[in-house]
A and B are shown apart, each in its own frame.
Chain A
């Protein structure tokens, strides 16, 4: 360690160490000491039907959201990367505008559209299609819609970069050998972008696991996910040990998935 090391690398590492690493060790300590020492809270977290139900719901929602966001992201990236100039510009604006708007505004937008007195229900009632408003938010449907909406731009960035890397000559070779457009897309283009698909899927899934704001607003307390459960355990029913134990489990799950993602990236760049 020279003076330069400490000067340049030191400040950020010191801040992260003090504000992040040390307190995280504290959270880990809570998980094995509160309310009494031992691994009791982990046993509860992995056997209690309520906690297991929330973990299972989180997993199920994230899986569905991943499939939907990656599929929608794939189509939009296709236009953004390979469309004509006008289509490309339109796609870019549709990706960037939602991306830069805050998660609260976007969740509120869905409330404005889908809640009982929202635009869709008011409209359908006026047209006489329904007499009772449809329940579209404050349930799992609302959570999935809001999460897919939030995560599509994040799926698009890895997808678009894998699509930009596709060698045009390979597609032309397939064309030259008489493959149809559909066949080129499914048997040549899609396999060539599978690295991007896997990267996007892992990214969306990892993001989804820790989602808090969107499920809290659009789920209305009825479809609680893991992150909201941690919040409730820490702030509503002081049960710090269990909240901390679930946090550690969540952190480990995310860490494993990220390690998988890194391996994928390394394999793709080899």
Chain B
């Protein structure tokens, strides 16, 4: 039971920090309605032209669908490989488990630019032998993304397994269940929420990925973040403001819905 609550000074400072955190997200809203072709605040006249551009310029829809496709493939692949790996560590408890774990988490802790260089080199090499999984192709991007996001799934699944009661697995084994039965009928059903969470988190990470994508694509595999990057670098395109408003609205809606749902559940007391 917390008895000492933060005082007025802490609350005031926190309010200022909260403003700092939310300010840039709010400022994109007026800018997205500017009638001008450059970044500016609308004065008098408000316009929807940049929202119209999102619909009329096919590049945005292409980027959107490409990001969805890459995200779905990369998150499915990453979650599957990561789950198998975490299961292996949990069931077999191999020697050097710490070392293997460190290896699996490497892309998460290495500086993104080093990973980008590494994956660029990898895809360039693959380009020499095939043109499907290669530099600047959607499959190449999906493979690179799955390398980058798999560590996050490894962490989530490992934490879930560490909280799982080993005796469930031992009971199944003592009754003669094989490895496949233990995995698919006993262990995985017990951590199914974590698997869904891992799929969701890795999808979002792939959807937002830019640090590596920037190095491994040029003109063909232009994901949504890659397209935004192009509009941000030199002459800032206010269409970025419009797409930002759309993305922020999605995030805020999901988070508010989740918070509301949790509060209702708590209120009902279950």
Contacts and interface: CB of A to CB of B under 8 A. Distances in A.
Partners in one complex: yes
Interface of A: 4-5, 7-9, 11-13, 15-16, 18-24, 26-27, 72, 75-76, 78-79, 82-84, 87, 89-98, 100-113, 115, 117-119, 122-123, 149, 152, 168, 171-172, 175, 181, 184, 206, 209-210, 212-213, 216-217, 226-227, 230-231, 234-235, 243-244, 247, 250-251, 254, 258
Most buried by B among A110, A206, A213: A213
Interface residues on B, range: 35 or more
A8 B91 contact: yes
B11 A23 contact: no
Given A234-B117, A251-B114, A168 B21 contact: no
B103 A247 contact: no
A168 B258 CA distance: 30
Nearest to B179: A4
B82 A175 contact: no
B236 interface: yes
Given A152-B21, A230-B117, A104 B225 contact: yes
B23 interface: yes
B204 A104 contact: no
B113 A231 contact: yes
A20 B118 contact: yes
Contact of B17 (A16, A75, A122, A216): A75
Contacts of B39: 111-112, 115, 117-118
Contacts of A15: 81, 146-147, 150
B129 interface: no
Contact of B10 (A75, A98, A209, A212): A75
12 contacts: A4-B92, A13-B103, A72-B17, A82-B5, A93-B256, A101-B248, A108-B236, A109-B23, A112-B27, A171-B4, A250-B113, A251-B110
Given A11-B84, A75-B14, A149 B20 contact: yes
Given A87-B6, A105-B248, 15 more contacts: A4-B92, A4-B179, A11-B81, A12-B81, A75-B10, A79-B11, A82-B4, A82-B5, A87-B14, A122-B40, A168-B1, A210-B111, A217-B232, A226-B113, A258-B109
A162 to B, nearest CB: 15
